[in-house]
Structure 1
Amino acid sequence: MLALLFLFFWMKALRWQMLLEPIKKLSVSQVTPAMMIGFMGNNILPAHLGEFLRVYVLSRQFEIPKTTVLSTLVLERLFDVIAILVYLGIGIYFAPNLPEKYHSISLFVALGIVVMIIAVAAYLLWTEAVIRLFSSIFSYLPFLPEKLTHLVLEMMRAGALGMASLKSKRLCFGIIWTSFAQWLFNGISVYIALWSFNIHVSPLAAFVVLGVTAFGVIVPSTPGFFGVVQLCFSVSLEAFGVSNADAFSASIYYQLSQYFPVTLIGLYYSNREGLKFSEAEREAENELEELEGGEHEVEAVRESG
């Protein structure tokens, strides 16, 4: 489990390094501290505030505009969603002993993959047109806060800088294969957690659990996603005839095997970078506030482009 965890985060760091390369050439070892501090933040802070902590640390270390750093994280999520959807679709369609209705679900997953790929391609090729489309859509949704819609549109403009890595065939290929590789390792970790508690299911079931869990933790929740992971394991394994008690046990093992190493490594890097534990939440919240009202950051990104 620890070896797979190492490979998972090494792949994440390698991919982030490639996403950042058109902006600033950094090594894997240079981006790792900020990345691990961010994931540590997600473990101890609510509502994914660790992502903004990650932005703060890398921006401070290498003087990269914060909005630009955040744009690479947005791209990370896009590629994560595509890779996870692929594994989820494969798991649902090919896993044995699943009711026929699940095959229909896999077709909807496949449709989601196609839509995501088309959306990313359109955003890359016709950035301003896509932004104008979203602006028109927002104008028909008056219940959305103006501050929120403004932030989304500005982030989409800034995100075009992060898309620069996709214009390089070498970087694009590297980003794609590392995205699939890291989630393959995570899926194997899920399978080992199930196997460790004598839950005998197809390895494809692990990819179903992976997909459901990965989407479950996207929603801002408690620090470390405790409770959310347990629910996702139970819901996804129910279709394979696994009892809630067994699913709960495996989910705890899977979660803690990642929670403690990631948190400890993140705290180590946090201490090394001079970021005290008591300051972590404040800095993350400050970054969120700055990005919400950060006209000056967006201007800096445009000028650097």
Structure 2
Amino acid sequence: MKRSRLMVWLGCGVSLLFLVLILRKVDGRQLLDALGRLHPGYLLAALVSTFASFGLRAVRWRYLLIHERPISLGSLYPAVIIGYMANNLFPARLGEFIRAWVLAERERLQTAAVFASLVIDRLFDGLSVMVMLAAVLLVLELPPGMEQTTALLHAGGVSMLLFYALALGFLVALKWRPVKTLSLLARLLKPFPAALSEKVISLCGSFLQGLKVSGHAGHLLVLAASSLGIWLTATLPIHLVLVGFGIHLPPIASFFIMVLLVFAVMVPAAPGYIGTYHLACYTGLVAFAVQPTEAVAISLVIHGIGFFPVILAGLYHLWTSGLSLSHVRRQAEAEQPPS
């Protein structure tokens, strides 16, 4: 518990530091003037695209769970929104556990099986981001003086590749050699408290039962197409907001900013990735010679689109489901290994 609180305070400190770094670069009145130049039509279109991305996540999730049974989008979509709302409000990506618990409770599924589908869901995201990063590095030519950013992108790409390769390797080993894999995991966890070791091994055992993906060609095609659609509709709001501010950059610039944002959300931060998200967006915009005040304004708007409306939508879906925020948090925390 103490370690969890320490990580929360560390994340809040990082967020505060990064916010100060970008906000000290601008004048408050100029920032308000810049925000006032945003065309509301583009803001609305960006909002629609953001929620379309969540809808496609629900579609992909349906086909990741189709081996259990077909689940309606009417159950999947609210769970997705509630999970992302929780990530905006709670630390340590608790929204992933909340998302799994909400769907499992609504559809009477095993939580471990649902959470296993989310691990595979994140692997699809990782592969999609790797493709996006490769395209950015191949096509994008950054202005002179951005060599350090290019080096960081390469380093981040290699780190992500290693992480997802290890995760995929563990899942394959767990699926095909479960006894040996769990035995090895138990040995690796020996230095940790016995309660943690027992909880992790138990979760992995339950998780194994849900580690399945349909091999049907049509289902795999939907998984690939929805993954492409998710990241296109998630990146489109960046382009729409830029145009809404009267800034016309090539589409690859929006993908470059999205890659930076993906790296940013991996850094410990306050709930909602406050600060880290803004600094990453600001850095990407300044690389294309966007003025600092406009870059800060755009960063605030892009983050706000995925923050405030998602929280409101999540609270609405909680209310219509007869659930409370405190209740789903307690249930999700019970599914986590002890700290």
TM interval, short-chain normalised: 0.7 to 0.9
The alpha-carbon deviation at position 258 of structure 1 amounts to 2.6
Give the RMSD, CA atoms, in angstroms: 3.2
Counterpart of 1:208 in 2: which secondary structure? helix
Report the CA distance shift for 1:35/1:140 in structure 2 as closer, same or farther (over 3 A): closer
The structure with the largest alpha-carbon Rg is 2
**8 Å Cα contact 2:265-2:273 kept in structure 1:** yes
Match of 2:262 among 214, 221, 230: 214
Are residue 76 (structure 1) and residue 121 (structure 2) matched?
yes
Q: 2:253 aligns with which of 205, 211, 225?
A: 205
Which of residues 171, 175, 192 is equivalent to 2:223?
175
Task: Decide whether aligned partners of structure 1 residues 121 and 146 sit closer, same or farther in structure 2, where only a CA change above 3 A counts.
Answer: same
Q: State the aligned residue count.
A: 290
Match of 2:131 in 1: 86
Given that 1:84 and 1:211 are in contact with CA atoms closer than 8 Å, whether structure 2 keeps it comes out as yes
Equivalent residue, structure 1, for 2:302: 254
Kept in 1, the 8 Å contact 2:260–2:284? The answer is yes
* Residues 1:34 and 2:79 are matched in the alignment: yes
Report 1 or 2 for greater relative contact order, CA contacts < 8 Å, sequence distance ≥ 6.
2
- Percent of aligned pairs with the same amino acid: 26
Shift of the alpha carbon at 1:271?
0.6
- Cα distance in 2 for residues equivalent to 1:171 and 1:69: 18
Contact 1:93 1:103 in 2 (8 A): no
Change (3 A) 1:48 1:131: farther
Q: Which amino acid aligns with 2:104?
A: S
1:66 Cα deviation from its structure 2 partner: 1.2
Q: Verify the 8 A CA contact 2:190 2:197 in the aligned structure 1.
A: no
Partner of 2:94: 49
1:19 aligns with 2:70: no
Residue from 141, 157, 171 that aligns with 1:123: 171
Equivalences for 1:276-291 in 2 at 5 Å? 276=324, 280-291=325-336
How much does 1:73 deviate? 1.3
State the Cα deviation string for residues 217-253 of structure 1 (Å, max 9, x = none). 2445323222221011123334333344322211111
In 2, Cα distance between the equivalents of 1:289 and 1:219? 25
Given the alignment, which residue of 49, 57, 60 partners 2:105?
60
TM-score (norm 1): 0.80
Structure 1 unaligned residues grouped into runs of 5+: 294-305
Instruction: Report the secondary structure of 1:221's partner residue.
Output: coil
TM-score, L = length of structure 2: 0.73
Q: CA deviation digits over 1:156-182, x for unaligned, max 9? A: 444444442243332222212211211
Q: After TM superposition, give the deviation of residue 204 of structure 1 in Å.
A: 0.9
Structure 2: runs of 5+ lacking an equivalent = 1-45
CA deviation digits over 1:108-164, x for unaligned, max 9?
A: 737955984686377347624488458647746766555555555554444444442
Q: Name the CA shift for 1:152/1:174 in 2 (closer, same or farther; >3 Å).
A: farther
Match of 1:184 in 2: 232
